[in-house]
Amino acid sequence: MYTLFNPRLCVTSLFDIDLEELRQQGIKGIIFDLDNTIIPWDSADMCPKITSWLHDLVVQDFKVAIVSNNWNKRVKLIADRFNLPFVSRAYKPAKRGFHQALAAMGLQAADAAVIGDQLFTDVLGGNRMGMYTIWVKPLTTHEFIGTRVHRKLENIVIRILKEKGLMK
Ligand SMILES: [Mg+2]
């Protein structure tokens, strides 16, 4: 059951993701988490480097969508900047939001990757869907109080995955 928490790829930063490698894995679209993945939690300012990296993805013909557990207004504000389909209040790791995003991108789960900073929402949800999961280090340590509780549990799961030799 722990394998459901195990990301296919762990990276320190979005820029460490090899897009060609993703393409070779058959990935045609990417579903992003919002907070602390592409934008710091509770901030409206996206770093220019991430902004241009996201633009690059679209230019390189990757389909992109945002699935967030955060509220509608905030998610829409960011998604509209890039003209991206989005799902807010997705209750990840529930599958519904991912299904909606896949439908909006016109892709099957096997053709999509999920990129997010939390094992219990993004990685678990993506793995349940059978998508390629990428766990990225959170942009800030400043986060929602509920997330801080998750982090403690996350550390326990990471320790177990490492003990089992599942995660490097
Ligand atoms: Mg997040």
> Tens digits of per-residue pLDDT, 46-94?
899 999 999 999 999 999 999 999 988 889 999 998 999 999 999 999 9
Q: Say if CB 34 and CB 144 are below 8 A apart.
A: no
Q: What is the mean pLDDT of residues 125-147?
A: 91
User: From ligand 1's centre to the CA of 67, what distance in Å?
Assistant: 10
Q: pLDDT by residue (tens digit) across 95-134?
A: 999 999 999 999 999 999 999 999 999 999 999 999 999 9
User: From ligand 1's centre to the CA of 97, what distance in Å?
Assistant: 14
User: From ligand 1's centre to the CA of 34, what distance in Å?
Assistant: 6
User: From ligand 1's centre to the CA of 68, what distance in Å?
Assistant: 8
**Thinking of the domain 2-163, which architecture would CATH place it in?**
3-Layer(aba) Sandwich (3.40)
Picking from 11, 85, 23, 88, the residue whose alpha carbon sits closest to that of residue 57 is 23
Q: 0.85 exceeded by the pTM?
A: yes
Query: Is the pLDDT at 145 greater than 80, yes or no?
Result: no
Give percent of the chain with pLDDT exceeding 70. 100
Per-residue pLDDT band for 152 (boundaries 50, 70, 90) equals: confident
Quickly list H helices, the chain. Answer: 19-24, 48-59, 72-82, 96-105, 124-129, 145-163
User: From ligand 1's centre to the CA of 115, what distance in Å?
Assistant: 9
